[in-house]
Every structure is written in structure tokens, then in C-alpha cells.
Amino acid sequence: MNIIDQARRQEAHSGEFLRQMREKAKCLPARVAIEGYQPAMCLFQFAIEYIEMAPRLIDCIDDCARKSGRRRLFEPFIQTAICCFTQPALIFTHTNSLDGLLVKAYLCHRLMEEMYENNLSTRRSKLVDLEVTRANLLVHQLIGEPFANELDESITLTALNLAGSPDYYELNLDPFVSELRKAAHEWMREYWDNLLTRNHIQFSLLP
């Protein structure tokens, strides 16, 4: 969180990220509607909350994996997610300004999404809400193409390296799912369900 606090102090002096959000607000696709009277501020606050969720999500998964006795299995995902956010190997995410942190948070959230999709126990648990997908898609738009597509490709390859075998897909992760339900299901669902709406953003998955 010190990284995020530092980036917010930097933004308070420069205003660069807010300027970027003003430009992004002018060219969002039709499926994104911002109902607030200051679209740039809506996008700005959404991005801040999205960034802040990344370390909370990592900590939550780490804790639940440990309590369920599956820490060793989740270790590669957790360490990779931490590196995505704090020490990315990709040269284009070296910056600790808010725009750089948004890219890092996107890498982290997309990796967690891929982890969820690559196991039957977690997929059928319905722990990941549709709003997570919407939030990730909006950040994809804020980052911009083709860069965001390159990030998606890197995460897909990373997930395949970590959990691309049929054996992983069939692993019984119900103990982890149970711990996650007890520890975080309600606050996590509430957070994601309201992330867009409390920032006056409507995102349709329909073309």
C-alpha cells in the first residue's frame, strides 16, 4: 500500500493521471456509460479503487490457501501476482505513477481471473462475479489497445505455465473455496458488485 500512497501523492502534485482520464472519457466505447456529471473523476476514482483491491485480493487468497492446507499449490500464483504488482519484469510497467499501477493491478487481477478459470472447483463455486469481468474489461479500455491485448497475451501464457494441465483443472480445491466463502465472500462480492455503480459507470457486455 506504500506504493499506492506514494503514487497518490505524486498525482496530487502532477494531476497527470486525471488528465489521462479526461482524454479517456471522451473516447470510451458505446457500451460504457458514465452517469456522473464529472466523467473523468468517475473513471479516476474507479481506477484508484481497482488498484487498491489488488493487494487486498492477494492477501485474501494467500490467507485462505494457507488455512485450507493448499498454500503450496497456490504459491506460484500468489508470488507471480505479487511480482506483477511490485516487481514486474515487463519494462513497460516500471513506473509507480497511477497509470503504471493501473497496469500492474490489471496484470494481478487478470492472473487471479485466469487462476479461477483454470480449475473446476473454483469455476463452479461462482465466487467470481460478472462484475469482476466488467471491471477488467473497463480497465482494458483505459489502458488502451494494442497494449492491453499484449498484457492479456502475457497473462494467458503465464497462467498456462502455472496451471495449464488437465490435472490442475481436475484438482479438488473445495477446501480453499470453503475458506474463501467464510473469510471474504460477502465483502468481496459487495466490493465488486458496487465498484462500477458507486462510481456512476454502466458497462454492458453486449456489443
pLDDT, tens digit, 9 for 90 and up, residues 45-92 = 999 999 999 999 899 889 989 998 988 888 888 999 888 777 765 545
Instruction: Give the range among 25-29, 51-55, 143-147, 202-206 with minimum mean pLDDT.
Output: 202-206
Q: How far apart are CA 127 and CA 107, in angstroms?
A: 19
pLDDT of residue 50: 96
DSSP state of 33: E
Q: What is the pTM of this model?
A: 0.90
- 55: amino acid identity, one letter: P
Instruction: Give the range among 15-24, 90-99, 144-153, 195-204 with minimum mean pLDDT.
Output: 90-99
Q: How far apart are CA 76 and CA 78, in angstroms?
A: 6
- Under a CB-based contact definition with an 8 Å cutoff, are residues 74 and 176 in contact? yes
Average pLDDT value for the chain:
86
Place of cell 506483477: 84
Place of cell 462480492: 189
pLDDT of residue 93: 47
Q: Tell which wins on pLDDT, 89 or 118.
A: 118
pLDDT of residue 48: 96
> How far from the centroid of its chain's Cα atoms is residue 96's Cα?
17
- Under a CB-based contact definition with an 8 Å cutoff, are residues 45 and 142 in contact? no
pLDDT of residue 3: 83
pLDDT of residue 39: 94
Q: How confident is the model at residue 169 (pLDDT cuts 50, 70, 90)?
A: confident
Q: How confident is the model at residue 21 (pLDDT cuts 50, 70, 90)?
A: very high
**Among residues of the chain, what percentage have pLDDT more than 70?**
94
Q: How confident is the model at residue 185 (pLDDT cuts 50, 70, 90)?
A: low
Q: What's the pLDDT tens digit per position in 125-140?
A: 877 777 888 999 999 9
pLDDT at 199 over 80: yes
